[in-house]
Amino acid sequence: MVLTHFHADHAGGAADLAHRDGVTVVAHRLEAPVIRGEATGPAPDPAGAPRWERDLYDEVPHPPPAAPAPVHREVADGDELDIAGGAVVVAVPGHTDGSIALHLPGPGVLFTGDAAAGAHGGVIPGVFHADRARAAQSFRRLAGLEVETVCFGHGDPLLGGAGVALRRAAAALD
């Protein structure tokens, strides 16, 4: 089980599932202490966010922190995981300090966590980031990957031409 970051809507099931046979919980080394309940992660910083994003933050429910869960394997940028034919950890700090994406170079698939999001049939650089400037840098990095398919933490996946959509969205940040 790969946790892209500590937020309860992503890591909330880990405490229940982590103790089952054969489950290995994987997270970035900066995120692991938060997932274990040993540290508090950064809150989203609304500074610089557009009005629609701040309104959205006020509208959506914010679940309490996830129950503490073990992290069996701490990873860092560039680490390879022996899943789905080989997955590469891409550190994408900004949404949280230890956010990660997973890149499957073989089939050209990217799992972004909340470093990007699907919206309006395309892709946006995500919302509710702890550090918007770092999140923008991370988004540009994702846009440099060779991918065809992108799966987001929120929003519909892009099932073709995803790299082009990512690069277009990244260019719009400049």
Q: Which DSSP helix (H) or strand (E) runs through 90? A: strand 87-91
Nearest approach, Cβ of 97 to Zn ion (angstroms)? 12
Identity of the residue, 108 or 137, whose beta carbon is nearer to Zn ion in the bound complex: 137
Nearest approach, Cβ of 114 to Zn ion (angstroms)? 4
Of the candidates 174, 162, 57, which has an alpha carbon nearest to the alpha carbon of residue 116?
Answer: 162
DSSP state of 78: T
Q: Is 84 helix (H, G, I), strand (E, B) or coil?
A: coil
Identity of the residue, 57 or 105, whose beta carbon is nearer to Zn ion in the bound complex: 57
Identity of the residue, 67 or 108, whose beta carbon is nearer to Zn ion in the bound complex: 67
Q: Is the CB of residue 28 less than 8 Å from the CB of residue 36? A: no
Q: Counting every residue, how long is the chain?
A: 174
Identity of the residue, 113 or 163, whose beta carbon is nearer to Zn ion in the bound complex: 113
Nearest approach, Cβ of 82 to Zn ion (angstroms)? 26
Nearest approach, Cβ of 65 to Zn ion (angstroms)? 12
DSSP state of 93: T
Residues that bind Zn ion (CB under 5 A): 7, 114
